Amino acid sequence: MSTQVTVTNNSTRHRYEAVAQSSDLAGFVDYQETSELVVLTHTEVTPAYAGRGIGGALARAALDDVRDRELKALVICPFIIGWLRHHAEYRDLLFNAPAPAVGDESVRS
């Protein structure tokens, strides 16, 4: 079951926050930032929202924001590392990822 959430960057608290339609905080991704990259350190989903796609929505929104800002991501959060295994379209954002081989169809812009 999926829950509709809005994810915003709370730069004051250095985290991306997912808020459900009921205005409840459903989860967040903590980060640290430099001029070159965003370090995604920890993802947490409120127990009441577990299993509803909140973590994936947070990961996608955080990485989309990193891409929009033309930065790189250094991911040390175990949840997002696991999520990335199923979302190759974000590999180009990874700070320490090897460059894709020419003709590598698994990586798309």
**Per residue in 79-95, pLDDT tens?**
999 999 999 999 999 99
Q: Check residue 22 and give its pLDDT.
A: 80
Q: Give the chain as a 3 state SS string.
A: CCCCEEEEEECCCCEEEEEECCCCEEEEEEEEECCCEEEEEEEEECHHHCCCCHHHHHHHHHHHHHHHCCCEEEECCHHHHHHHCCCHHHHHHECCCCCCCCCCCCCCC
**Per residue in 21-74, pLDDT tens?**
888 999 999 999 999 999 999 999 999 999 999 999 999 999 999 999 999 999
Residue 100 domain flag: no
Which residue range forms the structural domain that includes residue 73?
A: 5-93
Residue 50 domain flag: yes
Residue 19 domain flag: yes
Whether 99 shows a pLDDT value over 70: the answer reads no
Whether 13 shows a pLDDT value over 80: the answer reads yes
CATH of the domain at 44: 3.40.630.30
Residue 32 domain flag: yes
pTM score: 0.85
Whether 108 shows a pLDDT value over 50: the answer reads no
Q: How many domains does the structure of the chain reveal?
A: 1
Residue 107 banded pLDDT, cuts 50, 70, 90: very low
Residue 103 domain flag: no
